Structure 1
Amino acid sequence: MVKIFGHRGAAGTYPENTMPSFRAAEQLGADGIELDVQLSKDGTVVVIHDETVNRTTNGRGRVNSYTYEELSRLDASHSFYKKTGFCSIPSLEEVLRWLQGTQLLINVELKNNKLPYRGLEESVIHLLRKYELEPRAVLSSFHHASMVKCRELAPDIETAVLYKRGPHKPWEYAQKLGAGAIHPNYAYIADPVVELTLAHGIAVRPYTVNKEKYMRKLMRLQVTGIVTDYPEVARRVLQEEQRKGR
């Protein structure tokens, strides 16, 4: 069955990469959450997408120019302040501590394709092990060498290669890197490529699938999962598709 991953939580209706967004994703029917991680100035793994805090908080500057304590004082409610009030930037540990009490899967995207963030792989893997979430986790990144490193450090944790426009035979590329999955941009992957990749035992989880027509198309192809800003919509569409298949 297609697994629904809430993109940065439920980013279509809640402030992305915040605890209210992750809790909402669970309540709205997601099977898992997708989030982004970077390192603060003092080496804490923090959950935020952009390399700067400018877009999603009331602060300015690079994430790695702030200590975690300083980051936690910024308001990450973005454009949803009237709905949620103040939201802090969570640490990955805070999210994993909460996740441990749920049944959710987690896709941790390492945002190290623009900044090197030395030690990020080791820190993320350490935290997943600390909370015994290895079986529920998949690590992904646009920095594919980082996924090779993760595979070497933790062969028991699934890795996925993220890309927009991918290789001609992504299943061969994934196998070469030791990755168990591809996470392509939904708009750039053809149906036959999805089918062949799945047939070769490589999971396919396209991102960021927000329109119903594309959700239906991918669900009919029986992709492994979809990453969406609207897990409630995806859950409804999946239920409708299941009823049609009966």
Structure 2
Amino acid sequence: MTKIFAHRGFSANYPENTMIAFVEAEKAKADGIEIDIQMTKDGEIVIIHDEKVDRTTNGSGFVQQLSYKELRALNAGHRFKYSNKESIPTLSELFEWMQGNSIICNIEMKNNKISYEGMEEKTINLIRQYGFEKRIIFSSFNHYSLVHSYRIAPEIETAPLLSDGIYQPWIYANAINAKGFHPNYKRLNGEIIRASESNNIKVRAYTVNNSKTMRALMKEGISAIITDEPIIAREILTQL
């Protein structure tokens, strides 16, 4: 059965990567959430997609140049109609909430542009602290970081992000000890899905918002889709 991961939470209807987007994703019956992490100037692991705060908040500047306190003062919900202030959450804040549910969390490490010294270690320590080793999937476009994470914590699943199509991705995933890979859905076909899944390599495609595409991928037996629209995805899965 295909799993539904809410991309940055229920980001079609709520501010991306905020606690309300995660809470609403769970209400929408998503099996998991996909989040992005960066690190503040004072070493706090925070949930935000871009290296800069400009697009998603009312502030400006690089995450790595702002302290956690400065970041916390920003409003990550200002582009949405409702007036609630939404803070940029910390990873610990998310984990506190996850203690009350069984949601899976796909953590994308955003360290392909800025290396964030020690981010993997900090994140892994936190996961172990909460006992979430089996509820986390690490993904990244920085495959060196994934290999590094696997070496420190082989018990946590890793899955490389792939923007381009690569030849026999299941063989590549296996070579770096990953249990899956997360491709751009446009670079995917039924043959790749079937070959990967039959070799015990999970395929979780991003970012699938078109209902026709969702249906086609689900019919091919894809492990998961990562979508901004968890409600639509759940309706289609139920029909199938």
The equivalent of 1:233 in structure 2 is 232
| SS in structure 2 of the partner of residue 57 of structure 1 | coil
Deviation sequence 1:58-83 (CA, Å, 0-9, x none): 00110111111110110000421x32
Structure 2 residue 28 is the aligned partner of structure 1 residue 28:
yes
Contact in 1 for aligned 2:193/2:221 (Cα 8 Å): no
Amino acid at match of 2:10: A
Contact in 2 for aligned 1:5/1:31 (Cα 8 Å): yes
The equivalent of 2:135 in structure 1 is 136
Q: How big is the shift at 1:194?
A: 1.1
Separation (CA, whole Å) in 2 of partners of 1:107 and 1:127: 15
Structure 2 residue 74 is the aligned partner of structure 1 residue 74:
yes
Q: How big is the shift at 1:44?
A: 0.4
> Aligned Cα RMSD in Å?
0.8
The equivalent of 2:219 in structure 1 is 220
Structure 2 residue 203 is the aligned partner of structure 1 residue 204:
yes
Contact in 2 for aligned 1:100/1:133 (Cα 8 Å): no
The structure-2 alpha-carbon separation of the partners of 1:190 and 1:78, relative to structure 1 and needing over 3 Å to count, comes to farther
The equivalent of 1:152 in structure 2 is 151
Separation (CA, whole Å) in 1 of partners of 2:106 and 2:78: 22
Normalized against structure 2, the TM-score is what?
0.98
Query: Where does structure 1 lack aligned partners over 5 or more consecutive residues?
Result: 242-246
Query: Where does structure 2 lack aligned partners over 5 or more consecutive residues?
Result: none
Structure 2 residue 16 is the aligned partner of structure 1 residue 8:
no
Task: State the number of aligned residues.
Answer: 240
Contact in 2 for aligned 1:55/1:78 (Cα 8 Å): no
Amino acid at match of 2:165: G
Separation (CA, whole Å) in 2 of partners of 1:78 and 1:229: 19
Q: How big is the shift at 1:166?
A: 3.0
| SS in structure 2 of the partner of residue 210 of structure 1 | coil
The equivalent of 2:107 in structure 1 is 108
Separation (CA, whole Å) in 2 of partners of 1:166 and 1:36: 22
The equivalent of 1:176 in structure 2 is 175
Normalized against structure 1, the TM-score is what?
0.96
Runs of 4+ in 1 over 6 A off after TM superposition: none
Deviation sequence 1:223-243 (CA, Å, 0-9, x none): 1111000101100010011xx
Deviation sequence 1:162-181 (CA, Å, 0-9, x none): 01113111011001111111
Give identity over the alignment, percent. 47
Amino acid at match of 1:126: N
